[in-house]
Amino acid sequence: MFFEFGIKDFLDILSVAFLLYYTYKLMKASGSINIFTGILVFILIWLVVSQVLEMKLLGSIMDKLVSVGVLALIILFQEEIRRFLVTLGSHKNAQAIVRFFTGNKNQKAMEHEDIMPIVMACMSMGKQKVGALIVIERDMPLDDIVRTGDVIDANINQRLIENIFFKNSPLHDGAMVISKHRIKAAGCILPVSHNLDIPKELGLRHRAAMGISQVSDAQAVIVSEETGAISVAYKGQFHLRLSAEDLERLLTEQS
């Protein structure tokens, strides 16, 4: 009996390959690549034992582990799954479909008038080596992060940003959240990334910026207190040692 290979089989294999590749990228960005590799090895052993060797006793035990393991994986990788769904929902094509059926308009993007005060404030703080961490909300709401700080709800202003991160300010240690063209809150607490691939010379601000970029679609701008260098964390990746033009371009393109 010949094996029939049609277009649906090709699409099926292509979809699985894409899913595995995207999961690999997601695990690598979050520092969980070893766990992902271990899961693949376990699935391979399970298929060999149950399907090829047909070892009933060991196969049944591994079947039970797989059935329970699905729930365990959901709990273990809840942040990664959440990020995957956020990325899927924030895709331009997906948003276009939703807007078509609901009639809702897309949230207005950051304008040049909003971006320039952030860029100028970061450049000024960088020259003075004043540490800062600014999180810019995109499609995924950051209400939980805002609640950890002090609500400000003010216009985006260069002088206000610099005053908040001034070394004697009570709010300078936390993160500032910018949402809907407003400085929403300051002194906010961010989740810290435990990715072992982050360079040792990058401090806690950079790890916090990486953390929020891994669990949301937000942009995080960091000004290093030690070197004055400006960086951006976005989608689990760093853009380091940026100039004013680079920072403006990144914030404009990703808005």
pLDDT digit string (tens) for the chain, length 255 residues: 455 667 887 888 888 888 777 777 766 665 566 777 777 787 788 778 777 777 777 777 777 777 777 777 777 666 666 666 665 655 544 454 444 454 544 444 567 788 999 999 999 999 999 999 999 998 888 988 999 999 999 999 999 999 999 988 888 889 999 998 899 999 999 998 887 778 888 889 999 999 998 888 899 999 999 999 999 999 888 999 999 999 999 988 765
DSSP 1: -
Q: In whole angstroms, what separates CA 197 from the centre of its chain?
A: 15
The closest of 65, 40, 29 to 195, measured between CA atoms, is: 29
Q: Which residues are within 8 A (CB) of 251 and not within 5 positions of it... i.e. 6 or more apart?
A: 110, 115, 118, 119, 136, 219, 221, 232
Question: pLDDT at position 207, please?
Answer: 92
Q: What angle do CA 219, 149, 155 make, to 5 degrees?
A: 65
- The two tokens of residue 169 are 């300010």
Give φ, ψ of 174 to 5 degrees. -90, -170
Cβ atoms of 101 and 95 closer than 8 Å:
no
Give φ, ψ of 237 to 5 degrees. -130, 145
Task: Specify the residue for token string 């006793």.
Answer: 57
